[in-house]
Structure 1
């Protein structure tokens, strides 16, 4: 039974990781252009889901990487960076949307 995904078969391990990273960067760039709050939240949720898929692709590439290469790709660093991006997006999406209380200004500065 072949456990490789079609992406793994078509792309080399390094190429797959570069593709995953490029997708993540593209998705972040798209979210920066979001206009209103709701579309921004929808885009960020979509990006977070895509980053989860990219993380799975990188993990698969890591498992399929040849152990004895002259230069090794640091899959664990990429997975960590993707996780940091996902957590940041999740924190933003889970933050309360109600205004925070603001201490009133005194306003009268002359005596």
Structure 2
């Protein structure tokens, strides 16, 4: 099976396709609030999925990291406004120190094509 790298860089690729599965790099967003960062990051998820012929209805699993678990409810509200409610993926959310202090949330997505 071939491997296709989407937006490859020196450190990582934006996404990697293997077979009929796409693995997205962690997506973070800009903005001051968790809601703003969620909307921005999830728009990037949409963009990357579209680049390989997929969409959010085909997400298999999402791992979500919050810099502060106290933001769980705010993140869930943004997630629920975005996710395809007829095709919700397996999901886990954890608190973690993210790559830079400005980041409040990060999404790691695996989807079918």
Comparing both chains, which one has the higher relative contact order based on Cα–Cα distances under 8 Å and sequence gaps of 6 or more?
A: 2
Structure of larger gyration radius: 1
Normalising by structure 1, we get a TM-score of 0.31
Normalising by structure 2, we get a TM-score of 0.30
